[in-house]
Structure formats: C-alpha cells, structure tokens
Amino acid sequence: MNKFLIGCAGVLLLVAILIGVLILETPRFLDAGKKAVSNLFAEEARIAGVENAWQPPSKVPDAQWFPASIGDWKLEKSEPAESVPALALARAGYGGIYRSPRGLIEVSIVPVRSEEKSAVLESAQEALSARRDLAQRSGDTGTETATSRTTGRLTTTRGNRTYFRLGASDHTRFWFLKGYLLIFRASGAADSETFPEEFLRASTATPLP
C-alpha cells in the first residue's frame, strides 16, 4: 500500500510540474504565435504591394523582361518559346536561363487568362510528375538518392503564388500576375524563394515600392 501511495504521489508531483511548466511557458508560446502571424500578414501585404505596382516591360513577353543580372544571378540566354515542354504548356511565350554559383534557374513567361489559371497549374503539375516518373523508370535520376526520389510532392499556394516540389530537389515556382504566368524552375541549391520577387523588381517598367 505504501509503495502504491508513493507511486501516486510521484505521478501527482510529475503532473504538477508539467502544469507549472505549461503555465510558465504559455505566454511565450502565445507571443511566438502572434509574432509568426504578424510576420505572415506583413509579408503578404508587402507582396500585394509589389503585385499592384509591377508593370510588364512590354505587352508581349520579350527580351525586355529579362534583365542582364539579378543579384548574383547572370542571364545566360533568353529567347522566344513556342511552348513550355516540361510543363506540357502549348502556348507561345519567352524563356531565359539565369546562372549563379548555386546553379541554374529557368524562367518562362506565358500569357494566361485568369479563368485559365487553375487548369494550367494543375496540368503543369501533372506534366512535371509524369516527367519525373518516366525519368525514374528509365533510371535517369541524376545524383538523387533513393530517399529524395520517394519524398513525394508538395504544393503550397499563397495568393497568386504556387510552389510545387517533387522529391527533395525538383522545385517549380509559379506566379500569376496581370494576365501572365511566370514560371521559375530550379534543382537543389539553385532554388530560391526570393528570386521571383527580385525578378519582378528588376524587370518592371516602373519602380516598385
């Protein structure tokens, strides 16, 4: 009986300690949560300002849309494109490749009406998945490990921006803006969350806030 009482007392003491820790730490957790939400709203407000202020350099995507450099990214080439084969997107636009020490980012720009956006994004993601599956079946997987090949797909959408990842290293970022779909494709370390916004700031016809 004494052992039972001692055991109960120990459990009660542990519960009391846990409750005390929760009481002490709750304000910190709440503050961290509030800060995260505040930062998210601030970021979205900033992005909205960029979207509203951005003006296409020309009516139809052309070489003017592709600055010679964006930070440490240097334009390797840009040229008209009748389609975007990797995304099974059969419409004319313009494409370019930027290189930095981290690798390459492929940029494609095509006109897309707002009512087409969802269908185009869904079709593009399916095309990328099919392309990846075919490469894996044929053994053309580059330097990826078995683990990275099987981590699946991730889609994250915020407003007009959609991030699509296949495995651990195949990254595609879509940004639908004023009748155009801007597509940024990169592998591994070459992927950049900030490059799309930097591209807009460098390519706009008018200064951005």
Residues 6+ apart with CB under 8 A from 80: 62, 92, 93, 94, 95
Q: Is 148 exposed, middle or buried (0-12, 13-18, 19+ CB in 10 A)?
A: middle
pLDDT in tens, 12-42: 777 778 787 778 777 765 555 555 556 667 8
| Regions of the chain with pLDDT less than 70 | 1-11, 28-40, 139-151
Please provide the CATH number assigned to the domain covering 63-203: 3.40.1000.20
Which pLDDT value is given to residue 9? Answer: 67
Number of neighbours of residue 191 by Cβ within 10 angstroms: 20
The whole model's pTM is what?
A: 0.76
Closest CA to 78 of 104, 100, 108: 108
